[in-house]
Amino acid sequence: MSDLADMTATQMAAAIRAKTISPVELTEAVLKRIVDRSDLNAFITVTGDEALSAARVAEDKVLKGEKLPPLHGIPYSVKDLLNTAGVRTTMGSRLFENNVPTTDAVSVARSKAAGAILVGKTTTPEFGHLQAATSPLFGRTLNPIDPTVTPGASSSGSAVAVATGMGPISLGTDGGGSSRIPAACCGVVGFKPSLGIIPHLQLPDLFGANSYVGPMARTVEDVALVFDAIGGPDLGDTYGQAAKLLHEGGASLAGLRVGWIAQGGARVERETAAITAAAVKTIEEAGAIVEPAEIDFKSYEPVFLTILRVGLAARTGPLIEGREELAGRTLIDTIEAGRGYSAVDLSNAIFERTRLFREFQSLFERFDILVSPTLTAPPLSIDVDPTGDIEIDGVNCGTVRGAWYPFTFPHNLSGHPAITIPCGSTAAGLPVGLHLCAPWYRDIALLQIAREVEERVR
């Protein structure tokens, strides 16, 4: 039974259709795995009874020979920042400890319509504000590869869940790398689509959005399966009106123009640099045309911080006033910092966001995709100060955001689709991720390319 939990979503879908495995068996196996790996603390809420009930209904449809939707009978989880109707959604905060939404997020509703079975809600730091897999509400989530290092954040539980067979797919969110960073730390795949491709209507500012729904899985094929089921326009989404019409596929590595961003203005740890460079060499050997490219990603850290802090101050600040004892110190500090910016500061950050978009677009006149390391170094210590400086190769490189993940947050600002895939491991056995980025609405092409790269470098 336990081996069933290690199947990919694509394998599960095929087995269900062939009637060799039932949705009930799969759901039972995944729920058992969740119990067996409870030491990792990947779930805030487990919906075992509801999942088994849904699995029995799904099994009945299979036996009756009904037409099955693409995710029929496949167990999945949802990061606890996304609303789930009738299921507690805490935002990782004591302030929302007993919050039960009445409606699903669009991505959740579409997953449900596609036949997926929700097994629970995964851990996240408070409101996803921090690059640390911890919260005053649920405690610490551990990396299944090495508990002494971070599993990444803020879709911490989602990455741990898919890495360990606690459901083959999970819906994370990505506000600065929050699906891609933990995916890289746990050796799985994390995808951030183009702005508007997967509606995220919980955001208060859809015009200036920098947070995305990010499907996560163990393979690119599974991510593509989920993306096909939940992507597409929604009348409530400012950027998603024509998104489905603008997808373009048919891409391959042969003749592909690849821009290799080796550093992005930051220092990349020696072993990480060697592993990712070797992966890029493999891409070149497959027929891609690889040339150096450069954007000083690290220099945009102040822009990202301004937008992040001001947004949290405006959205979350009023929620904690008079209830500060329920919030963590880092969240309170972030809100206070956000209140210190002026309207001119925010406007200048928005102007810089536009400049970054134009830098990307200039490179896409020369290249079909851009490739870089996902992180500048392997997973950091579980005890690292997420607000402090870090060292790489013995050199102080500055704050965690600018020094460790300068390759991820710029794509949240620019809106371009990006994906991380595993491309090797360090001598200590820690995973290293390769980051691929494409022009807006080239999501399907990016997934096709990523799948081909995955076959060669994983």
Largest Cα–Cα separation, the chain: 63
Catalytic hit among 154, 155, 158, 414: 154
Would you call 194 a catalytic residue per the annotation? no
> Bridge partners of 260?
292, 371
**Cβ density class 118-150: b for 16+ within 10 Å, e for less:** bbbbbbbbbbbbbbbbbbbbbebbbbbbbeebb
As a whole number of angstroms, the distance between CA 350 and CA 438 comes to 22
Would you call 79 a catalytic residue per the annotation? yes
| 3-class DSSP assignment, residue 397 | strand
Catalytic hit among 22, 77, 79, 298: 79
Q: For residues 272 and 432, is the Cβ–Cβ distance under 8 A?
A: yes
Catalytic hit among 22, 135, 156, 178: 178
Q: Where are the beta strands (DSSP E) in 69-178?
A: 75-79, 117-122, 134-135, 139-140, 169-174
Q: For residues 175 and 308, is the Cβ–Cβ distance under 8 A?
A: yes
Would you call 178 a catalytic residue per the annotation? yes
As a whole number of angstroms, the distance between CA 325 and CA 332 comes to 10
The alpha carbon dihedral of 293, 296, 300, 301 has a sign of positive
As a whole number of angstroms, the distance between CA 34 and CA 367 comes to 43
Q: For residues 74 and 116, is the Cβ–Cβ distance under 8 A?
A: yes
Crossing angle of the two packed helices 48-63 and 23-36, in degrees rounded to 10: 160
- What positions carry a catalytic annotation? 79, 154, 178
